[in-house]
Amino acid sequence: MSNAAAEITSAPPGTESRLEVIDVTVDFQGLRAIENVSLDLRPGEILGLIGPNGAGKTTLVNVLTGFQPPTAGRVRLNGVDITAWSSHRRSRAGLARTFQSVLLFRGLSVVENVESGAIAGGSDRTTARDQAMDIIEDLGLADVAHRPAGTLPFGSERRVGIGRAIAMRPTFLLMDEPAAGLNDSECSGLEEVIRRVGRRIRCGILLIEHRMSLVFNLCDRIHVLEQGRTIAAGDAAGIRVDPRVRQAYLGDEVG
């Protein structure tokens, strides 16, 4: 295990394991993408992050994972300030993410793609292969395990990307629009996959998603952004009827 991972793979005694964004602001050449946003995520829960296009959702995930430095504010993992940490160091310490674009190694097999996640998480090659096969079976991909990832239908590619992320055994998994491009049947299957991920490794999941049926079916709590600011946060029942959220984003999409 690397020194970075050893620092905070578990919370110190008496400290609750938690991923926190504290008063984060991000400016891009005079444009304020995020303003004074705070949220937290604990292992075993699913937190939805929703809002209109351009609300700052992906920017916030980039801050969490080290791809975007904040202009102001902090990111903490298990009480440790990781704001200045690289994305690689954060991933070794328990943060993993999926992207809007799946970004698979298209010439490698499904099992090799998932295996790469386990190796990135610190497993040796033999252990990584065993872990990958277990995950592939759990995600319903055993029959395509040895096919090149680039030959799969889009919905299966999404599952491989999720499998690669969970092979890192993260404490926190950040998912950026996993249902993008999926049909209703594939989305239903994805919902069950995400539930199984939560049961399998008990990680906290931050879910950015525009498909509201998925968000309201899965999420324990929901955080809503508009133009880079928090306009609401709470449980699904409260968010569903919040007049600010309906006006800014939901409209009549949910009853």
Q: Give me the mean pLDDT over the 212-216 stretch.
A: 90
- Environment class of residue 159 by beta-carbon count within 10 Å: exposed (0-12), middle (13-18) or buried (19+)? buried
Do the beta carbons of residue 137 and residue 114 sit within 8 Å?
A: no
Mean pLDDT of the chain: 86
**Rounded to whole angstroms, what are the CA distances from 208 to 58, 175, 233?**
8, 6, 14
Domain spans of the chain? 43-66+93-250
**Rounded to whole angstroms, what are the CA distances from 79 to 15, 35, 76?**
7, 22, 6
- Give the per-residue pLDDT at 103: 76
Q: Give me the mean pLDDT over the 213-230 stretch.
A: 93
State yes or no: pLDDT of 206 exceeds 60: yes
Do the beta carbons of residue 99 and residue 30 sit within 8 Å?
A: no
**Rounded to whole angstroms, what are the CA distances from 71 to 30, 37, 54, 66, 237?**
11, 12, 18, 13, 33
% of the chain at pLDDT higher than 90: 47
Write out the two tokens for 159: 């599952």
> Under DSSP, is residue 80 helix (H, G, I), strand (E, B) or coil?
strand
Predicted confidence (pLDDT) per residue in 44-101, tens digit: 999 999 998 889 999 999 999 999 999 999 999 999 999 999 998 998 888 988 876 6
Predicted confidence (pLDDT) per residue in 11-39, tens digit: 555 556 899 999 999 999 889 999 999 99
- Topology of domain 43-66+93-250 in CATH is Rossmann fold (3.40.50)
State yes or no: pLDDT of 241 exceeds 70: yes
Band (124; pLDDT cuts 50, 70, 90)? confident
- Environment class of residue 37 by beta-carbon count within 10 Å: exposed (0-12), middle (13-18) or buried (19+)? buried
Strand partners, 116: none
- Environment class of residue 75 by beta-carbon count within 10 Å: exposed (0-12), middle (13-18) or buried (19+)? buried
**pTM of the entire predicted model:** 0.84
Phi and psi (nearest 5°) for 187?
A: -65, -40
Q: How far apart are CA 45 and CA 221, in angstroms?
A: 8
Write out the two tokens for 38: 């705070």
C-alpha dihedral sign at 235, 237, 238, 241: positive
